């Protein structure tokens, strides 16, 4: 059974449509990634899933319960790691976790035990008495994740958990998330970090303009949309550009043109023939990555203007 | 409305923070009312003769309880709530737990009322030490202050829910709270006003509070204007649900 069932979900803010109809199921125990440029609707979708934002149209079921009808019961089972730090600056590190546990009706002694365990897990045990403002960005992020584990959530939702972290902290976070997944926690991850997405996620949904435009395991997405090789090239003579592009199309090659550069996505067994090679100056070629797929599907121009 | 016992969790959070930082709260809510009592009551008061021969310090002592109960709740649910909501984003993290937005708002109002009660207790003890409490009926001030605190917290939180920035509270205090402080019978009897104005002062929610607190502290319950309780309950009945609805409108995106 799926832990999250999203059906025809739409989110509008006035005249702006942030989520334009999303249908997807997330399975128990998987790590599911939402990938997309800024403004693609990832955060809006996630806020609806965790019950802090009303759904304009459609429905979301979490663990078999309707999020609009039983938000309290569902929220008791969730851990949420927000993009921006919202730790409680009036309380020290330990009290942040203990106070947070009280929101879940966890008894004091148990709350303390869990707080200490989670601080240990994220290597913060030496900073128990520190004020929040004394922590570095990396420590705050670790503490946010530690806090989200307070109620032993069956579903952990993370919005860009490693943005701005140094590589050491980033890898620490990734290791911890992997081990949580190994223990059966379902992870829902919003990210723009392709390494993170391929490293952690079993399946990815690429979102653009409020819709899911591609869905599948990372390797499959790369194979399906990236082909076997990407060639970056320029046209040797500007007047022959249209001719070259139409010839590429005729040979069944997918291409994308960004400013002067043409990106040719070569599938298995596809090659550029001599005619084409003589028209093109090849500047680079590489094995496709998730980033290439992302850029191909969501476009290379800036999304927020 | 979706209020549950979870609102107590927010109350507990605010209580813990208050008792951690209480040293910074002492000047505003404990030292200031006492200073006011000494300066106005014993200082200015020696030059003031009331019509019925009552000592001035006896007159203003209950008024100071009423006024500072108002201030405590009002500061807590304007500046305090606004900072937690907007600057610290504390509510954002809390509404991702089993607490609803209504729990958060109700918890803030409960805590604001608790602040009023704490302030009233301290002032009551101080004026008792000066021998200004004439009757055990003065203990009625405590439940009265809880009601007062709930009312002023609700009004304040309503204003917070529509305040565009923290500077907006200057208007709230200058145009609403301070005029009440001076004109609702805290410092001089409202009988000093012309009859029409006297009636108008009863629109201000502090007027019944000051009047009834005075009746309780003096022990002359018969002199209280008891229908004034209706004004207090009326304000509470309107502004409690209104503040919850408006906070939800503000926070739910």
Binned at pLDDT 50, 70 and 90, residue A147 comes out as very high
Which chain B residues are Cβ-neighbours of A89 within 8 angstroms? 88
CA distances from A5 to A8, A59, A164 (A): 10, 8, 31
Taking alpha carbons only, the member of A113, A87, A86, A84 closest to residue A98 is A113
Instruction: Output the pTM of the full model.
Output: 0.92
Binned at pLDDT 50, 70 and 90, residue B53 comes out as confident
At A170-228, the pLDDT tens digits run 999 999 999 999 999 999 999 999 999 999 999 999 999 999 999 999 999 998 888 88
Percent of the residues in chain B that have a pLDDT greater than 70, as a whole number:
100
User: Would the pLDDT of A303 be above 60?
Assistant: no
Mean pLDDT of B181-207: 93
Those residues whose C-beta lies under 8 Å from the C-beta of residue B233, and which sit 6 or more positions away, are B147
The H-or-E segment that residue A13 falls in is strand A2-13
User: Which of B19, B24, B96, B252 is most worth mutating to test chain A (most A CB atoms within 10 A of its CB)?
Assistant: B96
**Within the 83-102 window of chain A, which residues sit less than 8 Å (CB to CB) from chain B?**
84, 86-91, 95, 99-100, 102
User: Would the pLDDT of A121 be above 90?
Assistant: yes
Q: Are A127 and A68 in contact, with CB atoms under 8 Å apart?
A: no
Is A76 part of the contact surface with chain B (CB cutoff 8 Å)? yes
pLDDT of residue A80: 97
User: Which of B93, B101, B247 is most worth mutating to test chain A (most A CB atoms within 10 A of its CB)?
Assistant: B93
Q: How many whole angstroms separate alpha carbon B28 and alpha carbon A149?
A: 39
Give the number of other CB atoms < 10 A from CB of residue B165: 8
Q: Length of chain B in residues, anyone?
A: 253
* Residue of B17, B94, B253 with shortest CB distance to A103: B94
Q: Which residue of A has its CA nearest to B13?
A: A99
Q: Which residue of B has its CA nearest to A74?
A: B98
Q: How many whole angstroms separate alpha carbon B113 and alpha carbon A172?
A: 45
Strand order in the sheet with A65-66: A16-27, A2-13, A57-62, A65-66
Mean pLDDT rounded to a whole number for chain B: 94
Is B253 part of the contact surface with chain A (CB cutoff 8 Å)? yes
Contact across the interface for B4 and A72, Cβ inside 8 Å: yes
Q: Return the minimum-mean-pLDDT range out of A35-39, A100-104, A297-301, B126-130.
A: A297-301
Q: What is the CA radius of gyration of chain B?
A: 18
Mean pLDDT of A82-111: 96
* Residue of B90, B98, B100 with shortest CB distance to A104: B98
Q: Record the tokens describing residue B246, joined without a space.
A: 């408006």
Contact across the interface for A52 and B100, Cβ inside 8 Å: no
User: Would the pLDDT of B70 be above 70?
Assistant: yes
**Within the 4-43 window of chain A, which residues sit less than 8 Å (CB to CB) from chain B?**
13
Which chain A residues are Cβ-neighbours of B88 within 8 angstroms? 86, 88-90
Percent of the residues in chain A that have a pLDDT greater than 70, as a whole number:
98
Q: How many whole angstroms separate alpha carbon A205 and alpha carbon A212?
A: 6
* Residue B194 distance to chain A (closest CA, Å): 49
Is A170 part of the contact surface with chain B (CB cutoff 8 Å)? no
Distance of CA A196 to the CA centre of its chain: 8
User: Would the pLDDT of B249 be above 70?
Assistant: yes
Which chain B residues are Cβ-neighbours of A71 within 8 angstroms? 100
Is B21 part of the contact surface with chain A (CB cutoff 8 Å)? yes
The H-or-E segment that residue A265 falls in is strand A261-266
pLDDT of residue A237: 82
Mean pLDDT of A58-87: 95
Which chain A residues are Cβ-neighbours of B250 within 8 angstroms? none
Which chain A residues are Cβ-neighbours of B20 within 8 angstroms? 90-91
User: Would the pLDDT of A305 be above 50?
Assistant: no
Q: Are A143 and A100 in contact, with CB atoms under 8 Å apart?
A: no
Is B223 part of the contact surface with chain A (CB cutoff 8 Å)? no
Which chain A residues are Cβ-neighbours of B18 within 8 angstroms? none
* Residue B160 distance to chain A (closest CA, Å): 20
Give the number of other CB atoms < 10 A from CB of residue B151: 31
User: Would the pLDDT of B123 be above 60?
Assistant: yes
Q: How many whole angstroms separate alpha carbon A170 and alpha carbon A165?
A: 6
Contact across the interface for B90 and A88, Cβ inside 8 Å: yes
* Residue of B20, B97, B253 with shortest CB distance to A75: B97
Binned at pLDDT 50, 70 and 90, residue B187 comes out as very high
Residues A293, A294, A295, CA angle at the centre, nearest 5°?
95
Q: Record the tokens describing residue A133, joined without a space.
A: 């403002």
* Residue of A82, A100, A104 with shortest CB distance to B92: A82
Binned at pLDDT 50, 70 and 90, residue A271 comes out as confident
């Amino acid at each position: 059974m799926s832990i999250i069932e999203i059906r025809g979900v739409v989110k509008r803010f006035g005249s702006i449509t942030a989520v334009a109809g999303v249908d997807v199921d997330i399975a128990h125990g998987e790590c599911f990634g939402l990938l997309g440029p800024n403004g693609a609707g990832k955060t809006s979708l996630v806020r609806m899933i965790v019950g802090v934002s009303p759904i304009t149209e459609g429905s979301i079921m979490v663990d078999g319960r309707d999020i609009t009808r039983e938000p309290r019961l569902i929220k008791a089972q969730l851990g949420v790691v927000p993009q921006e730090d919202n730790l409680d600056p009036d309380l020290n590190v330990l009290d942040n976790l203990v106070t947070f546990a009280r929101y879940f009706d966890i008894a004091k002694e148990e709350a303390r035990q869990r707080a200490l365990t989670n601080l240990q897990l994220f290597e913060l045990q030496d900073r128990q008495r520190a004020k929040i403002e004394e922590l570095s960005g990396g420590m705050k992020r670790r503490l946010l994740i530690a806090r989200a584990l307070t109620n032993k959530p069956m579903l952990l939702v993370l919005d860009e958990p490693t943005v701005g972290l140094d590589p050491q902290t980033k890898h620490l976070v990734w290791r911890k998330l992997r081990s949580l997944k190994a223990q059966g926690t379902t992870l829902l991850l919003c990210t723009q970090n392709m390494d993170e997405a391929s490293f952690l996620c079993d399946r990815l949904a690429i979102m653009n303009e409020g819709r899911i435009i591609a869905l599948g395991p990372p390797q499959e997405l790369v194979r399906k949309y990236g082909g076997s090789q990407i060639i970056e090239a320029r046209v040797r003579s500007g007047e022959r550009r249209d001719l070259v592009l139409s010839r590429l199309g005729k040979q069944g090659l997918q291409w994308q043109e960004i400013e002067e550069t043409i990106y040719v996505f070569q599938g298995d067994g596809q090659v550029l023939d001599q005619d084409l090679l003589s028209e093109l100056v090849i500047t680079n070629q590489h094995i496709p990555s998730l980033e290439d797929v992302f850029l191909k599907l969501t476009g290379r121009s800036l999304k927020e203007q | 409305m979706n209020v549950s016992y979870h609102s107590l969790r927010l109350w507990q959070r605010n209580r813990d923070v208050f008792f951690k930082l209480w040293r910074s709260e002492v000047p505003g809510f404990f030292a200031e009312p006492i200073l006011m009592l000494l300066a106005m009551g014993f200082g200015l008061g020696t030059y003031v003769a009331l019509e019925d021969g009552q000592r001035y310090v006896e007159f203003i002592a209950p008024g100071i309880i009423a006024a500072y109960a108002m201030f405590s709740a009002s500061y807590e649910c304007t500046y305090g709530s606004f900072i937690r909501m907007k600057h610290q984003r504390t509510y954002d993290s809390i509404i991702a737990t089993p607490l609803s937005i209504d729990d958060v708002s109700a918890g803030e109002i409960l805590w604001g009322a608790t602040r009023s009660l704490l302030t009233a207790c301290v002032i009551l003890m101080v004026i008792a030490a000066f021998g200004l409490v004439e009757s055990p009926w003065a203990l009625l001030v405590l439940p009265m202050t809880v009601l007062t605190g709930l009312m002023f917290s609700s009004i304040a939180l309503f204003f917070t829910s529509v305040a565009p920035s923290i500077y907006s509270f200057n208007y709230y205090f200058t145009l609403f709270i301070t005029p009440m402080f001076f004109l609702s019978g805290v410092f001089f009897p409202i009988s000093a006003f012309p009859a029409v104005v006297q009636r108008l002062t009863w629109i201000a929610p502090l007027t019944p509070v000051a009047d009834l607190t005075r009746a309780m502290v003096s022990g002359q319950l018969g002199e209280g204007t008891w229908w004034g309780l209706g004004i207090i309950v009326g304000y509470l009945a309107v502004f409690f649900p209104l503040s919850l609805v408006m906070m939800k409108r503000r926070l739910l995106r």
